[in-house]
Amino acid sequence: MVETKNHKTLFDTGAKFQVLYENMLRLNYNPEEIDTVFVSHEHKDHIGGLTGFIKKNSKPTIYLPKGLSEKKKTEIINKGGQIIETGKIQTLFENIATTGPMGTEIKEQSMIIMTTKGAVIITGCSHPGIINIIKSVSVLSNVYAVIGGFHTYKEDEEKLKEIKTAMEELDVKIVVPTHCSGEKIKKILNSSEKIKCIDGGVGFELRI
């Protein structure tokens, strides 16, 4: 959940709406208060709960990356979803932007939140490469924080050290590796003197 002054935006919907819904209730979020949904990519563990969410609240604008299957788009529209497809890096609304779909085989977009401290990036799985994503945003602003799946759970130690070095060179201040990041990247990022690595998870909150 991304909260700005005038908007409540849901980033991805998980595999099953019932799990998402129960977590939202425990965290005192009402699905009907959400005005925007941002979908990173088509994998079920990121979009599976969307149609269930639409049954609860069909009013939000749903931002999808261009490249999603026609079958999935038709399913969302038939359930009453109001979609906008993103095709490039662009501002969507109040301090919220998208990288637009990146990658080749798996088209994925990441969210950019513009703050006074710099850009905060939220990633789904980072299929296009976490450093590629950060570099694409760094042309707009310094990148202050990166939160989400880094897709590094299968990488060897040498590759993970390269990622840490690249993040240091890009002057990233805070990282919150979750989902498909794995424990090894957390250990390596925790060894950095320039980057603060924070544990995330269900119920984790970061105020900037």
166-187 tens-digit pLDDT:
999 999 999 999 999 999 999 9
The H-assigned helical ranges of 123-192 are 130-138, 157-169, 183-190
CA 6 – CA 38 distance, rounded (Å): 16
- CATH fold of 110-208 reads Metallo-beta-lactamase; Chain A (3.60.15)
Pick the CATH number of 1-87 from 3.60.15.10, 3.30.70.890, 3.40.640.10, 3.30.530.20: 3.60.15.10
pLDDT score at 41: 97
| Average pLDDT along the chain | 95
Averaged pLDDT, 64-83: 93
pLDDT score at 202: 87
Taking alpha carbons only, the member of 138, 105, 106, 104 closest to residue 121 is 138
Judge whether 1-87 and 110-208 match in fold. yes
pLDDT score at 201: 86
> What pLDDT digit, counting tens, does each position of 101-152 carry?
999 889 999 999 999 999 999 999 999 999 999 999 999 999 999 999 999 9
Residue burial 61-81, b: 16+ Cβ < 10 Å; e: rest: bbbbbebbeeeebeebeeeeb
> Hey, what are 31's tokens?
């699905």
22 conformational bin, left if phi > 0, alpha if psi -120 to 50, beta if neither: alpha
The domain ranges of the chain are 1-87, 110-208
pLDDT score at 43: 95
> Hey, what are 125's tokens?
């799985």
